[in-house]
Structure 1
Amino acid sequence: MTSQQSPAQLEKQEIWQKDRDHFMHPWTDFSTFKETGSMVFHRADGVSLQDADGKRYLDGIGGLWCVNIGYGRDEIAEAVAAQIRDIPYFSTFGHHTTAPAARLAAKLAELAPGDLNHVFYGCGGSVANDTAVRMIHFYFNQLGKTSKKQIISRIDGYHGSTYMAMSITGVEFDHIGFDIDRQLVHHISCPNPYRRPEEQSLEAFCDEKVKELEDKILELGPDNVAAFFAEPIMGAGGVIVPPEGYHRKTLEVCRKYDVLYVSDEVVTAFGRLGHMFASEDEFGIVPDIITCAKGLTSGYLPLGATIFSDRIYEVISEPQADGAIFTHGFTYSGHPVSCAAGLKNIEIMEREGLCDHVKDVGAYFESRIKALSDLEIVGDIRGRKFMMCLENVADKATRELIAPEAKVGNRIADECQKRGLIVRPLAHMNILSPTLILTREHVDFVADTLRESIEAATASLKADGYLPR
């Protein structure tokens, strides 16, 4: 720092230094972090972020799949402030509650499909999935089926980063250097149509993946398998949209063997695909449990929920013995301020018709992004509405990947950032999950900027010898 630096520059340097020295970030890349530190954001409004130097960026990833109603909503701030003044916190253990917790639970039951009428609160998606596992084990214990403990999920499925949620997660990269429970959790193949054999039809591919689930249940023994966890569209694993009928058929398999079906809607719920919940409205299934978080408050405050069926509730709500209680929960379960934010968030979504907006502008977004498939390195573009992924390859015909050390996803993200757009790099992929209030003009900026950025990244890959000139 020098005496010529402005107060704003001095503050930026101070924050950068304190962050680098003391803030342990999620998913830190230590090969670069100690040198480059973090990008410091200062403000946000609408669809945009502003860094500490005053440069604005369109947020193409919605915070982290979550700022659905956009930034700077005064109504949320006012609802939160009012609740803090009324009652900022009280324990919901035992038989205590607050109005926001009760009202939001009723609202979620109204919005959720089928008989999913009961809500257990946590602080995020990882905890919602951990709660689902404990609840499922308790449920089968109550029924006397005490051997039903095994969990099945999918390679490249993402379910969180607590110990159990990360064990259920099938993204192998996320397991490097860490332990997970490989005795309780078992993974079957990712239903990624892009990576199926060239001669295989989508229908045959779907049937193969469904059969793999059934075969795994039979291998483990139906009396030992408790649940199948599945995202409607796999998010952090690369925005994988399973083939038509996959979810319906896997649900039928689960029903056949008394295996509970958990639909992880941490990403897809609250408008991302144009529905409050995607399980039934987009994919035609009513699961036993839906887990959600992120868009529940649009990221304004931490909150997650495990929403479960009448059938499960009727079993777990029966006392297991004299004086016994359901001993699961968290200090912040049903936190009134977070629940107030969730209620106001849903009110805004409904009043402004945000789901209909996503069906309209989201379809335009999908079409504009898919038009980038003519670019030299773009092998696959997949997703729906405001949930899209570009997979970059060295050869479109063979689907061979560019060398990992080229960091193609990061190159593209860096080029986008230079041009005022934030996209998410994920190895050889780039993911888009913007706020749901984008206009068509915003969509055009995203698509045009991506095109320029991919072209610039392609040129640099050729110059560095990762692609033929």
Structure 2
Amino acid sequence: MAAAQDMMTATVGEALSGEEAVELAKRHLVQPWPTAGEIGAEARSLIGEGEGIYITDGSGKKLIDGPAGMWCTNVGHRREELARVMYDQAMQLSYNTPWYTMNEASAVLAERIAGHAPGDLSHVFFTTGGSSAVESALRFMQFYNNVRGRTEKKLILSRGGAYHGSTYLSASLNGRPRDRDWMDGADDLVVKLSSPDPFRRPAGMSIAAFTDSLVAEFEETVKRIGADKIGAFVGEPVQASGGVIVPPENYLPRIRKICRDNDILYVSDEVVTAFGRLGHVFASEDVFGIDPDIITFAKGVTSGYFPLGGMIVSERLLQELRRSNHPSAMYAHGLTYSSHPVGCAVALKNLDLLEGGILAHARAVAPYFQAQLKTLEELPLVGEVRGVGLMACVECVADRDSKNPLELDRNVGMRIDAHCHELGLLVRPLINMCVMSPPLTITKEQIDDMVGILREGISRTMEDLRKEGVWKG
């Protein structure tokens, strides 16, 4: 009877109050990344609507959308152009099976995306998001080596601090603390390397020496395991969910060369950095000077208006498959919603908006964004502010000299987020870090508002910690 009542209430739609939605969530909705003690019994901050760089919570409070949803609402909320495209495409063709039919929007979008990709990356396979994009790339690597008779060349190199997804194989690559504490993975297929985090380099080591050590570790790993056993290296140009780790200059090109010299596929995971986050459609070449064998993408491709992702594959790899002695070998991988017509139509219009001025605007305001956030290093709780483009991280530490996080208060980021929420800013808290990646349409005046609120939120948190005796800074 209770379940039936819930269903009746839920179908009322606009008559459903925020309190009722919270109760329904606690009774029936399983949230992403829950703890065992709250799984299936929690509700999170209710968001009612959004416009531009702002969202409104369940109580009606207007907030700057600091994380742009999940790094993804790049062109901002409530863009009528995207909503209308969704409607128009759904009215024309809402779905087609990709197994034996195709739609026009996917073909046009593949051509548009290939035109922005570096090197000879010219073919696109569409998925439903970032995890499935990375999964597709890894399965392609396995298929590619099987067809070429290299059945032992399957190991995958990943790094500490990495985040590549939540599907079984993509999640196996993750290298953040806590991601794998209670979850299984394909550990026999993955080899982890050090995170390219300059802030956490050994004391007294220069950036140049740190870079050399990372490259030496990569070379030693390839030599120790054998290039004939390693199929791919997967790396984010910027380790996003790991705390916006920007690698040292020239690190990625040097890793790319090692991969090329050892016939190891270089997969650049641009799920976060693509489609404007760093001011370009793709950051691999334009920002970091690399031409990968495969690029994965999602999030900003539709600015979060529709689930879509994909991988772009080198023409060279496809030619090698077509020339093989196994023409009937099948890449037995696909998704019901691959090349979804609505998603592809939205992505095309989203790309129009990006190319029509938003990319240029993002490049123009990014230096101001980084400079204003950097002023937060004046606060004694802040160990480092780092970032590139329109993505940044404020890392809080107990002691600047030792660079230790707040061991007695692992939720300092959530404390800062709570204060900022009251003040009008949504922050993405990551343990002792606050990640900021607002919509690309943000203005300098709005950046000032955002940084001012964040400064006050951190200041209030410092006072809380002092009063509780947790921190004496």
After TM superposition, the score normalised by the length of structure 2 is: 0.94
1:90 match: 96
Q: 1:221 aligned to 2:209?
A: no
- Which of 303, 306, 318 is the matching residue for 2:308? 303
Q: 1:231 aligned to 2:244?
A: no
Whether the 8 Å contact between 1:119 and 1:306 is mirrored in structure 2 is yes
The verdict on how the C-alpha distance between 1:32 and 1:417 changes in structure 2, with shifts beyond 3 A counting, is farther
Whether the 8 Å contact between 1:319 and 1:325 is mirrored in structure 2 is no
- CA offset at residue 20 of structure 1? 1.3
1:12 match: 18
Cα distance in 2 for residues equivalent to 1:10 and 1:159? 36
SS in 1 for 2:296: strand
Q: Where do 5+ consecutive residues of structure 2 fail to align?
A: 1-12
Amino acid at match of 2:82: I
- Which of 71, 77, 82 is the matching residue for 1:65? 71
Whether the 8 Å contact between 1:193 and 1:243 is mirrored in structure 2 is yes
Cα distance in 2 for residues equivalent to 1:316 and 1:25? 41
| Equivalent runs, 1:47-196 vs 2, <5 Å | 47-94=53-100, 96-196=101-201
- Which of 404, 423, 427 is the matching residue for 2:431? 427
Larger mean Cα displacement after TM superposition, 43-52 or 308-317: 308-317
Q: Where do 5+ consecutive residues of structure 1 fail to align?
A: 1-6
Cα distance in 2 for residues equivalent to 1:46 and 1:103? 28
- CA offset at residue 324 of structure 1? 4.2
The verdict on how the C-alpha distance between 1:177 and 1:90 changes in structure 2, with shifts beyond 3 A counting, is same
Whether the 8 Å contact between 2:30 and 2:39 is mirrored in structure 1 is no
Dislocated runs of 4+, deviation >6 Å: 7-10, 32-36
Q: 1:350 aligned to 2:355?
A: yes
1:3 match: none
- CA offset at residue 320 of structure 1? 5.7
Whether the 8 Å contact between 1:20 and 1:33 is mirrored in structure 2 is no
Q: 1:364 aligned to 2:368?
A: yes
- CA offset at residue 255 of structure 1? 1.1
Q: CA RMSD in A?
A: 1.7
- Which of 415, 420, 430 is the matching residue for 1:416? 420
Cα distance in 2 for residues equivalent to 1:150 and 1:70? 39
1:265 match: 270
Amino acid at match of 1:441: E
Cα distance in 2 for residues equivalent to 1:365 and 1:199? 30
Amino acid at match of 1:188: L
Cα distance in 1 for residues equivalent to 2:108 and 2:212? 42
Cα distance in 2 for residues equivalent to 1:158 and 1:404? 25
* Identical aligned residues as a percent: 41
Cα distance in 1 for residues equivalent to 2:327 and 2:157? 34
Q: 1:444 aligned to 2:440?
A: no
The verdict on how the C-alpha distance between 1:8 and 1:328 changes in structure 2, with shifts beyond 3 A counting, is closer
Cα distance in 1 for residues equivalent to 2:149 and 2:259? 19
- Which of 329, 345, 356 is the matching residue for 2:334? 329
Amino acid at match of 2:282: F
Q: 1:312 aligned to 2:317?
A: yes
Per-residue CA distance 1:373-431 (angstroms, 9 max, x = gap):
01011001111121100110111122122125352111111111010100111011110
Amino acid at match of 1:413: D
- CA offset at residue 35 of structure 1? 7.6
Per-residue CA distance 1:332-379 (angstroms, 9 max, x = gap):
11000000011010011111x111111111111110001110101100
Larger mean Cα displacement after TM superposition, 150-159 or 401-410: 401-410
SS in 1 for 2:179: helix
Cα distance in 2 for residues equivalent to 1:325 and 1:33? 40
Whether the 8 Å contact between 2:74 and 2:303 is mirrored in structure 1 is yes
Aligned length: 461
- CA offset at residue 316 of structure 1? 2.9
Q: 1:39 aligned to 2:84?
A: no
1:250 match: 255
Whether the 8 Å contact between 2:31 and 2:40 is mirrored in structure 1 is no
After TM superposition, the score normalised by the length of structure 1 is: 0.95
Larger mean Cα displacement after TM superposition, 137-146 or 96-105: 137-146
Q: 1:387 aligned to 2:391?
A: yes
Whether the 8 Å contact between 1:251 and 1:285 is mirrored in structure 2 is yes
Whether the 8 Å contact between 2:163 and 2:240 is mirrored in structure 1 is yes
Q: 1:275 aligned to 2:280?
A: yes
The verdict on how the C-alpha distance between 1:124 and 1:10 changes in structure 2, with shifts beyond 3 A counting, is closer
Per-residue CA distance 1:225-256 (angstroms, 9 max, x = gap):
00000100000011101110000000011111
The verdict on how the C-alpha distance between 1:404 and 1:105 changes in structure 2, with shifts beyond 3 A counting, is farther
Cα distance in 2 for residues equivalent to 1:142 and 1:150? 16
Per-residue CA distance 1:65-84 (angstroms, 9 max, x = gap):
00000000111111111111
Whether the 8 Å contact between 1:406 and 1:461 is mirrored in structure 2 is no
Whether the 8 Å contact between 2:160 and 2:194 is mirrored in structure 1 is yes
- CA offset at residue 9 of structure 1? 9.4
Cα distance in 2 for residues equivalent to 1:87 and 1:42? 29
The verdict on how the C-alpha distance between 1:42 and 1:320 changes in structure 2, with shifts beyond 3 A counting, is farther
SS in 1 for 2:366: helix
